């Protein structure tokens, strides 16, 4: 079912609240001061039924310039706007400012209501209508209907209702399968209930009993009750005006500007990448680093604008910029915002958020500007791809990307699947999550690993390769160990690298001994072959082999890495064939006798206790044998 929010806008005392009373039979001025002075100060909310039976929420915004921040908090989520102009006064300053704001926040549907027509003659009305048509040129209200109304006499009210009904059929239905998000426009205490918040649910659905978080911040509460249009509801859907009673949340922990959303679903930020547009009607440019007031959703916050491709932004121009905020907020990509001068305060422009969790950018950086251009003009899947490319260096998971984009994981996975099929990204599945990197970053990682290996092979030509752990520490510092291993396995599967045991090497790399190293190698092998199960210690072997001691160590290590020599510990080394002979003798004895002692193994090998103990302990480490008291048995598997 489609849910519609109707809103009013216009100058103070032009009849917005009276029009709503004529449409709904209800007074949206709830404060005593509002009723006494006859002007709206705060936002007013009510609802009414259209001729087709559909129920629409309605928001009445204050028209006085002092309360423009309240007006800005109210326009979020409006589907159809009624720009109210009094026939006896015509276009006034707040009429123009409200119209500019409505245009900036992306409202697409609405029409003009000319009120108080009973107070002036036909000729005057026609003059005002011409003035209105001129004012709305170039905005979303250009060519929209203009309805004459006398709210006190109920003239034109039915026509307004019918036009709202007609427009409501054109409004796109909001998606209830997206991340729920409710910017709070009012928070108060109700005796016997506790904390109550109200707002327009922009997306998704919220239900009774659901845990929610107050953003920014880490306060978590539970939805105790929900109301939609003054009626109890089990579930609230996108596009509805919602009041909710929050358990576990104090009044001072939530206020206008807070956002209610599922726990852990959004990420606070003080940097926003934006596309900003200045109104053509203002009389001066803004310079880089100008201090401004930002209005986003129901939030008001001070910021500085960093112009990324120029020193000044002239009236009527658009540019890419970064907003550096003075306090944290939460936002979603494509959210609309308004900016005003800090002093004197008046609306100067607005725009769209391109990256709600931005990194600090350098000005006049071509790559940054290209990235923002894609995020501004690209399709949704192109934008997701760019986000993945931008965040690949952090090895993001689907959960990370969901948090960054404020998209539900199941919706995000559809785009991930498409990008994977198009070979734009690679996914890696671990036990509890799926990690994603862009193909460009995958190639960059591959090149980095190859460069590291090239240097390593040149420095250590007798080593079979670099250990996986060493590569991970050099190239994959931000990746989980298992993820780094999966990526390296993929390099091997694709044929970029080769793996031998736990070592990685450039494909085709082979250890090449020079003449002197060959001599050392042959001497080591011959000595160990001759000594069999009574090998000399490492230092003794080095003396017997002779030659350069550093080269001896390199050659010995290369033989160990290749598996030609088995290192039982730091001092004892055996040829692989000797080791295998010792293992076979062990197996045969245990299979016949059930177990073996150190002394028995020593006698079988005709060696000393030190060697037999070293071999048995090595077999234990390799899970070949298991020690029971003073005996070893074979581990069956």
- Reported as a single tens digit per residue, the pLDDT across 416-431 is 999 999 999 999 998 8
Question: Band of the pLDDT at 40, cuts 50, 70, 90?
Answer: very low
Residue 390, token pair as written in the block: 């931008």
- For the cut 70, the answer to whether the pLDDT of residue 64 exceeds it is no
- 33-37, 235-239, 610-614: least confidently modelled range: 33-37
Minimal CA–CA distance to 488: which of 534, 571, 428? Answer: 428
Q: Which residue has the tokens 């032009």?
A: 14
Top pLDDT among 44 and 601 is at 601
Rounded CA gap, 291 and 271, in Å? 14
Top pLDDT among 368 and 379 is at 368
Q: Which residue has the tokens 């979020």?
A: 76
Do residues 274 and 351 touch, judged by C-beta distance below 8 A?
yes
Question: Taking the domain 379-512, which CATH number applies?
Answer: 1.10.10.10
Do residues 195 and 252 touch, judged by C-beta distance below 8 A?
no
Do residues 337 and 347 touch, judged by C-beta distance below 8 A?
no
Q: How far apart are the first and last CA of the chain?
A: 62
Question: Band of the pLDDT at 35, cuts 50, 70, 90?
Answer: very low
With H, G, I as helix, E, B as strand and everything else as coil, classify residue 409.
helix
Q: Does domain 182-262 correspond to CATH entry 2.40.30.10?
A: yes
- Reported as a single tens digit per residue, the pLDDT across 317-362 is 999 999 999 999 999 999 999 999 987 788 999 999 999 999 999 9
Q: What percent of the chain has pLDDT over 70?
A: 96
- Within this chain, domains 182-262 and 379-512 share the same CATH topology: no
Do residues 578 and 532 touch, judged by C-beta distance below 8 A?
yes
**What dihedral do alpha carbons 11, 14, 20, 26 form, nearest 10°?**
110
Do residues 426 and 420 touch, judged by C-beta distance below 8 A?
yes
Minimal CA–CA distance to 116: which of 98, 90, 97, 135? Answer: 90
Residue 13, token pair as written in the block: 């005392």
Q: What residue spans define the domains of the chain?
A: 4-168, 182-262, 269-370, 379-512, 515-634
- For the cut 80, the answer to whether the pLDDT of residue 377 exceeds it is yes
- For the cut 60, the answer to whether the pLDDT of residue 31 exceeds it is no
Rounded CA gap, 215 and 267, in Å? 8
- Reported as a single tens digit per residue, the pLDDT across 510-521 is 888 888 888 989
Do residues 512 and 549 touch, judged by C-beta distance below 8 A?
no
- 207-221, 277-291, 554-568: least confidently modelled range: 554-568
Query: Mean of the pLDDT values across residues 288-303?
Result: 94
- Reported as a single tens digit per residue, the pLDDT across 571-625 is 899 999 999 999 999 999 999 999 999 999 999 999 999 999 999 999 999 999 9
Residue 607's pLDDT is what?
95
Rounded CA gap, 346 and 481, in Å? 53
- Tell me the sheet residues that pair with 197: 187, 244
Name the DSSP class of 392.
G
Residue 318, token pair as written in the block: 């658009």
Q: Which residue has the tokens 């005002």?
A: 128
- Reported as a single tens digit per residue, the pLDDT across 136-193 is 999 999 999 999 999 889 899 999 999 999 999 888 888 788 899 999 988 999 888 8
The alpha-carbon radius of gyration of the chain (Å, integer) is 37
Q: Does domain 269-370 correspond to CATH entry 2.40.30.10?
A: yes
Rounded CA gap, 505 and 501, in Å? 11
Q: What percent of the chain has pLDDT over 90?
A: 65
> How much is the pTM?
0.76
Rounded CA gap, 58 and 79, in Å? 10
CATH architecture classification, 4-168:
3-Layer(aba) Sandwich (3.40)
Q: Does domain 515-634 correspond to CATH entry 1.10.10.10?
A: yes
Q: Which residue has the tokens 């922990």?
A: 253
């Amino acid at each position: 079912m489609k849910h519609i929010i109707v809103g009013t806008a216009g100058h103070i005392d032009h009849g917005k609240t009276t029009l709503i009373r004529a449409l709904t039979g209800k007074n949206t001025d709830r404060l005593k001061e509002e009723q006494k002075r006859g002007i709206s100060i705060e936002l007013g909310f009510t609802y009414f039924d259209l001729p087709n039976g559909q129920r629409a929420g309605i928001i009445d915004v204050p028209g006085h310039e002092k309360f423009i921040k309240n007006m800005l908090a109210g326009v979020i989520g409006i589907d159809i706007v009624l720009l109210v102009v009094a026939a006896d006064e015509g276009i006034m300053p707040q009429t123009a400012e409200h119209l500019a704001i409505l245009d900036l926040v992306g409202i697409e549907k609405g029409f003009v209501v000319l009120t108080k027509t009973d107070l002036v003659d036909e000729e005057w009305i026609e003059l005002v209508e011409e003035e209105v048509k001129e004012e709305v040129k170039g905005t979303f209200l250009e060519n929209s209907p203009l309805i004459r109304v006398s709210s006190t006499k109920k003239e034109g009210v039915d026509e307004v209702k019918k036009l709202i009904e007609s427009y409501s059929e054109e409004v796109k239905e909001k998606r209830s399968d997206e991340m729920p998000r409710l910017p709070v426009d009012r928070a108060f205490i109700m005796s016997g209930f506790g904390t109550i918040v109200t707002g327009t649910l922009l997306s998704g659905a919220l239900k009774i009993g659901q845990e929610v978080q107050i953003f920014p911040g880490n306060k978590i509460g539970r939805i105790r009750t929900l109301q939609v249009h003054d009626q109890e509801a089990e579930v609230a859907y996108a596009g509805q005006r919602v009041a909710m009673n929050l358990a576990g949340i104090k009044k001072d922990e939530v206020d206008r500007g807070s956002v209610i959303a599922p726990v852990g679903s959004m990420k606070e930020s003080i940097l926003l990448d934006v596309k900003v547009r200045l109104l053509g009607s203002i009389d001066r440019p803004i310079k880089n680093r100008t201090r401004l007031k930002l209005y986003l959703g129901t939030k008001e916050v001070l910021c500085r604008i960093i112009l990324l491709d120029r020193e000044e932004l002239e009236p009527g121009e658009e540019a890419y910029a970064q907003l550096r905020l003075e306090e944290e907020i939460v936002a979603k990509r494509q959210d609309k915002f308004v900016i005003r001068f800090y002093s004197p305060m008046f609306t100067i422009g607005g725009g769209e958020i391109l990256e709600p969790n931005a990194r600090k950018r350098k000005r006049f950086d071509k790559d940054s500007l290209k990235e923002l251009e894609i995020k501004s003009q690209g399709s949704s899947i192109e934008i997701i791809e760019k986000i993945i490319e931008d965040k690949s260096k952090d090895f993001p998971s689907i959960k990370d990307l969901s948090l960054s984009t404020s998209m539900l994981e199941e919706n995000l996975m559809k785009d991930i699947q498409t990008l994977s099929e198009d070979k734009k990204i690679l996914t890696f599945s671990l036990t509890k999550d799926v990690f994603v990197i862009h193909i460009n970053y995958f190639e960059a990682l591959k090149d980095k690993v190859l460069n590291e290996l090239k240097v390593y092979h040149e420095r250590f030509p007798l080593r079979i390769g670099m250990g996986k752990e060493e590569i991970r520490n050099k190239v994959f510092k931000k990746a989980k160990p298992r993820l780094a291993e999966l990526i390296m396995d993929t390099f091997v599967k694709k044929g970029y690298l080769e793996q031998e045991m736990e070592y990685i090497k450039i494909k085709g790399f082979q250890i090449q001994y020079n003449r002197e190293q060959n001599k050392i190698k042959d001497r080591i092998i011959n000595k160990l072959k001759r000594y069999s199960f009574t090998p000399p210690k490492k230092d003794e072997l080095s003396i017997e082999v002779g030659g350069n001691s550093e080269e001896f160590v390199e050659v010995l290590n290369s033989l160990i890495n290749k598996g030609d020599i088995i290192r039982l510990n730091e001092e004892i080394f055996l040829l692989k064939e000797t080791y295998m002979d010792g293992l076979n003798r062990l197996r045969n004895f245990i299979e016949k006798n059930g177990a073996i002692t150190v002394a028995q193994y020593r006698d079988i090998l005709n060696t000393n206790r030190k060697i037999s103990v070293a071999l048995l302990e090595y077999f234990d480490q390799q899970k070949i044998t298991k020690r029971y008291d003073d005996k070893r048995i074979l581990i069956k598997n």
